[in-house]
Structures are given as C-alpha cells and as structure tokens.
Amino acid sequence: MALAHAILALLLESPFTGYDLTKTFAGSIGSFWKATHQQIYRELAKLEAQAWVTVETIPQAGRPDKKLYSITNLGRQKFVAWANQPCDVSAVKEELLVKVFAGVIVGAKPICQEIQHHRQLHAATLANYRQIEQQFFANCDRLSSEQTFPYLTLRRGIRYEIDWIEWCDEALECLRKGEG
C-alpha cells in the first residue's frame, strides 16, 4: 500500500485541509500506517499532480491561505481499483525482536528492561483503544455499516496490543526462569 491510498481513504469521508488531514491521520489511520506531516504534504502534491485530488484555496486575512483537498472521481476510481486488489501480508520490522534475538550478547537484564518498557507502551495504547471503543462503539451489536469498518480496524488494534502484552509477559517469565 502506498501512503496515497491512506490519504485517499480519509478524503473519501470529507474534504480536509492539509493540517486537518494530518491531525485526523494521526488519530485514526496513523495507528496502523505511519507518516510524518511532511510525507503527507508531499503526497498531497503528487495526488494533485495526478488529478486524484483537487485543491481549493481559501483566503484568510492576515494568515496564509488554506488549501482544502477533495478527492476527485479519478481518485475515487483509483482507490476502488486498489481496494479490490489482493494485498500481501506486511513484512514485520521489529527492532525489539532483533535485540531479543541477539540477547545472549547483551544479557537478560537489559533485554528485560526493554521488554518491560514495551509492555508499558502497549498497555497505554491498549487503554487508549479501549477508551475509544467505549466512547464510539459501546454497542457493537447495533453498528451501522459506516461504523462497522472503523470498528473492525479498532478491534484489530486491540487484539494486536493484547498479543504484545501477552508476549511481553511470556518473555519476561521465560527470561526470569533462565536467571534463577
């Protein structure tokens, strides 16, 4: 997947300024697709050049003009064509796992500290996801089709964080047994 598709997915919902798109991206798709605001702005320029988005300039007194981005029919067609293609399983890139793999070199103590740190990070993310679930999806039996798809991505995030926490607990227990 390209960043372009993640941006188009948001623009399918409504037009956004670059600033608002970046904020919305960070709070939604940013949970599973990382991009900096510089990358998003560069990609918006490319999408405009390809006629996948249009830009409306909105003058502001005493401030730089706003640019409001909207998806075009061509952009919608390109997104739908992409969404209908099968996707590959994403490659795993986990720096922590490289450290654990080579843990015999640095020893169990620093690896345990790193795993404990990651457990805390994943627990905090899980708590955030649970809060979102309660706030927006408290009654999952009565979701509209528009709510179902974001709910499913949230549920994937929840399960991902639970799995990480469980793995951290398992790894810490295993390493502690090896020390004793």
% of the chain surpassing 70 pLDDT:
98
Note the pLDDT tens digit of each residue in 8-62: 999 999 999 999 999 999 988 988 899 999 999 999 999 999 999 999 999 999 9
**Predicted local confidence at residue 180, as pLDDT:** 45
- Written as six digits, the tokens of 16 are 């956004």
pLDDT band at 91 (very low <50, low <70, confident <90, very high): confident
**Predicted local confidence at residue 138, as pLDDT:** 87
Count of CB atoms within 10 A of residue 6's CB?
Answer: 20
Q: What is the pTM of this model?
A: 0.82
Which of 85, 95, 96 is closest to 2 using CA atoms? Answer: 85
Per-residue three-class SS string for 11-74? HCCCCEEHHHHHHHHHHCHHHCCCCCHHHHHHHHHHHHHCCCEEEEEEEECCEEEEEEEEECHH
- Residues 96, 114 contacting (CB under 8 angstroms): yes
As a whole number of angstroms, the distance between CA 4 and CA 46 comes to: 9
**Predicted local confidence at residue 1, as pLDDT:** 61
As a whole number of angstroms, the distance between CA 151 and CA 141 comes to: 11
pLDDT band at 83 (very low <50, low <70, confident <90, very high): very high
